[in-house]
Structure formats: structure tokens, C-alpha cells
């Protein structure tokens, strides 16, 4: 418990953003770089999120070293910021950037992410390419190997086939 308290005291307080700023999350995670981004949405009250964090922890922590921006986005009430910070400390994820998005209604967040099949279900993980385009969605628990494959695909996209040479003149 003392280690948890020390980690919380040394960590910067999680910023609280209004739902209207959901459209800035990809840019914030990219940190002004043209790099792929992973947004991971979770909440302290979400049992599936608590079950998923231990499985995804290593993959999430590896992302910055692989040139991928990452942002952990808590969908909690602002008054629960300390609980959200405590949960990140518990799962040893304080090294990753995190914000609390004050979004009592999922619609603005869903629109900002750009995944028409997402209804706000948590956890949810979204992989964007270096241009900020959504490339892969994990609605519900993500498997670490599937997330790794999605990140690899946006970091090293398959080459486009060369255009076919023109045919003989007619």
C-alpha cells in the first residue's frame, strides 16, 4: 500500500478533459509526431477493464518504445480521478499518458473516434495510422497478440501493388 501511495504522489495528476475535447485525443497521443496511435478506453467501474489490464499491460507499455503514441482514456466522473489514478498505479501503468474524459454520454466520444460500430462499450481499444485514420477497433477485451498485429500493420503497412503496365495500343 505504501508503494501505491508513493506512486500516486509522484505521478502527475491525471488531466480531466470535457467530452467536447474527445476529437483531440489522437493528436494528443501522437504528441505532435506523425506516428501511429493507440487509444485505450476504460473505467474504474468496468469489471472487464480490470480483467483486461493485466493481459494488455506489457503490450501497452511497449508501444512508446516502438514509435507508437498511446493514451489511456478513463471514462469516469471527474470526482473519481483519484480512483482512476489508483487503478493505473495498481496495474503499474502510470508510465503511460492518461486522461480522464468527462463524458457522461458516449455519443460525442463515439463520433470523435470514428468507429460506427462502437456504442461506448468498455473496454475499447482503437489503433490509428500515422495520418490519424482509424485502422483497427477492439470493442470489448483486446487480446495482446491481436493488438500487436494491428500495431505492426500500421507501423509497416503492406506495400501497394505496382500499377499494371499499360496494355498494347489499340
The span from the CA of 27 to the CA of 25, in Å, is: 5
The span from the CA of 139 to the CA of 136, in Å, is: 10
Residue 4 has pLDDT above 50, yes or no: no
pLDDT score, position 111: 87
C-alpha grid cell for residue 65? 518504445
pLDDT score, position 166: 67
pLDDT tens-digit map of 12-56: 689 999 988 998 899 889 887 889 999 999 999 999 999 999 999
Average pLDDT, the chain: 87
The whole-model pTM stands at 0.84
- 93 CB-near residues (< 8 Å, 6+ apart): 53, 57, 60, 61, 72
Amino acid at each position: 500500500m505504501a508503494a501505491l501511495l508513493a506512486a500516486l504522489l509522484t505521478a502527475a495528476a491525471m488531466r480531466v478533459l470535457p467530452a467536447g475535447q474527445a476529437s483531440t485525443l489522437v493528436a494528443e497521443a501522437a504528441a505532435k509526431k506523425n506516428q501511429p496511435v493507440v487509444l485505450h478506453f476504460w473505467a474504474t467501474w468496468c469489471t472487464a477493464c480490470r480483467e483486461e489490464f493485466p493481459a494488455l499491460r506489457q503490450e501497452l507499455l511497449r508501444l512508446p518504445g516502438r514509435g507508437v503514441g498511446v493514451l489511456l482514456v478513463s471514462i469516469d466522473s471527474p470526482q473519481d480521478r483519484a480512483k482512476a489514478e489508483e487503478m493505473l498505479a495498481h496495474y503499474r501503468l502510470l508510465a503511460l499518458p492518461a486522461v480522464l474524459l468527462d463524458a457522461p454520454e458516449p455519443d460525442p466520444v463515439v463520433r470523435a473516434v470514428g468507429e460506427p460500430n462502437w456504442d461506448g462499450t468498455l473496454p475499447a481499444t482503437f489503433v490509428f495510422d500515422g495520418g490519424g485514420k482509424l485502422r483497427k477497433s477492439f470493442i470489448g477485451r483486446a487480446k495482446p497478440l491481436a493488438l500487436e498485429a494491428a500495431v505492426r500493420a500500421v507501423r509497416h503497412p503492406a506495400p501497394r501493388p505496382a500499377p499494371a503496365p499499360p496494355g498494347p495500343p489499340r
